[in-house]
């Protein structure tokens, strides 16, 4: 499961929901970011990797970021 959150211009965080996969979460971001009447399109998530931190690949890839026009989105992997 993946948890999607957004930070707005006031730096307030809001949880947008839990998703079964990255695709459905990306679709939610695109629905919030696109102008009405525009095609859906696609997006690139960013991955933050600090070589000084000793994290596994799974830990690094468990947080994906997208900086949109209407907010900063973070998609976090939730272990079940």
Q: What is the pLDDT of residues 35-47, one digit of tens each?
A: 777 777 899 999 9
- Ranges of residues in the chain whose predicted pLDDT is under 70: 80
Whether the pTM exceeds 0.75: the reply is yes
Q: Quick one: pLDDT at residue 80?
A: 63
Only one residue has tokens 């009447």, namely 37
DSSP string, 17-46: EEESSHHHHHHHHHHHHSPTTS-------E
Radius of gyration of the chain (CA): 13
pLDDT at 21: 96
DSSP state of 53: S
């Amino acid at each position: 499961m993946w948890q999607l959150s957004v930070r707005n211009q006031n730096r307030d965080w809001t949880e947008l929901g839990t998703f079964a996969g990255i695709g459905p979460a990306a679709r939610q971001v695109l629905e919030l970011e696109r102008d009405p009447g525009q095609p859906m399109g696609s997006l690139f998530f960013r991955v933050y990797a600090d070589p000084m931190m000793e994290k596994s690949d799974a830990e690094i890839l468990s947080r994906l970021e997208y900086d949109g026009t209407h907010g900063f989105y973070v998609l976090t992997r939730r272990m079940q």
